[in-house]
Structure 1
């Protein structure tokens, strides 16, 4: 048998399981209460396996938030790619804001934690900025840059309001607002400020 034990994983998918467990632990208690021990217990792996895959808690958290960003960005992209017209793209945006699949309660908790942690961790700050760029790129499949920027702010912000109000959103109001932004497209030009 060639290769070292380090080259031959005996538990395929362990790293991903650890990252998913880390997100579960963060969602339940926040970054500030997340420990190696809690993550290992949730992932059902030996505590030492965390140091095998990650260079400390900061690296583990950064990779966990990158996994969250990738997963949500892929859903965001798929939702918009399936639209065949501007009207369908508007409906897709409304679904991202109001629907059950994107920005669930758990997702919103993790997003809040990621945004807060991004203020103190450069890798997570980069992940967050990249996520916003990916979101606008997905919207750009159907909308101008100015409209994409405005819609992305709605997609990010309205679920936050829903989470804090602990009440469903008014889908009709969301639909009318999305349509108004799309209709105002030519008036929404970007000024190159990168915001």
Structure 2
């Protein structure tokens, strides 16, 4: 038909596929994630997955990229609100103990990402890039050595919380953060 403008029937389809993939990963694990489960969760035809992505590995990479991006935004927001070292230590404790970062579903997705990254170079690189972004956020307040140590605490302590199934002792976490900062940055 002359003059008819072509408009995509579903302009958000690719985005829904990526979001659905991350949900399927969390609910079933990478090892049980299939094209069919993703298509069902996204409410799209199965063939649309291969229209937008070269295969399941590309979908998984996109899902993990979304996870790291979403979490990095929150990470940066919490740290950028701090205006001095004491507030920066409190911000680190909030990332470790708070409910806004590393939710239970995010922790499950992270475990899946780390395990899958052991066998997929693109996702492994994505994890490495995420470390650098996290350290850049910390670098606004701390030296490189301190950033590395604090980032390990931010990554590791929520894993312990998840495995133990109990909240962390915020005072212990904050005391540990302050001790690391004082030792590596110097008192005051």
Say what the alpha-carbon RMSD is for the aligned residues: 1.3
Instruction: Give yes or no for contact 2:135–2:151 (8 Å, CA) kept in 1.
Output: yes
Q: 1:12-35 deviations in whole A, cap 9, x for unaligned?
A: 221111111101000011000101
Q: Give the 3-state SS of the residue equivalent to 2:99 in structure 1.
A: coil
Q: Distance in 1 between matches of 2:185 and 2:102?
A: 29
Partner of 2:145: 146
Structure 1 residue 148, shift from structure 2 partner: 0.6
Q: Distance in 1 between matches of 2:15 and 2:178?
A: 39
Structure 1 residues without counterparts, runs of 5 or longer: 188-195
Q: Distance in 2 between matches of 1:81 and 1:73?
A: 12
Runs of 4 or more off by more than 2 Å in structure 1?
A: none
- Per the normalisation by structure 1, the TM-score is 0.91
Partner of 2:163: 164
Q: Distance in 1 between matches of 2:48 and 2:158?
A: 36
Q: Give the 3-state SS of the residue equivalent to 2:102 in structure 1.
A: coil
Q: 1:120-172 deviations in whole A, cap 9, x for unaligned?
A: 11110010000001000100010011111000000000000011111110001
Partner of 1:87: 86
Q: Distance in 2 between matches of 1:139 and 1:16?
A: 30
Q: Give the 3-state SS of the residue equivalent to 2:124 in structure 1.
A: helix
Structure 1 residue 9, shift from structure 2 partner: 2.5
Q: Give the 3-state SS of the residue equivalent to 1:184 in structure 2.
A: helix
Structure 1 residue 185, shift from structure 2 partner: 1.9
Partner of 1:64: 63
Aligned residues: 184
Structure 1 residue 2, shift from structure 2 partner: 7.1
Q: Distance in 2 between matches of 1:2 and 1:152?
A: 54
Q: Distance in 1 between matches of 2:60 and 2:42?
A: 15
1:48 is aligned to 2:44: no
Instruction: Give yes or no for contact 2:142–2:185 (8 Å, CA) kept in 1.
Output: no
Q: Distance in 2 between matches of 1:186 and 1:160?
A: 26
Q: 1:137 to 1:37 in 2, by over 3 A?
A: same
Partner of 2:109: 110
Instruction: Give yes or no for contact 2:71–2:101 (8 Å, CA) kept in 1.
Output: yes
Q: Distance in 2 between matches of 1:92 and 1:21?
A: 31
- Per the normalisation by structure 2, the TM-score is 0.94
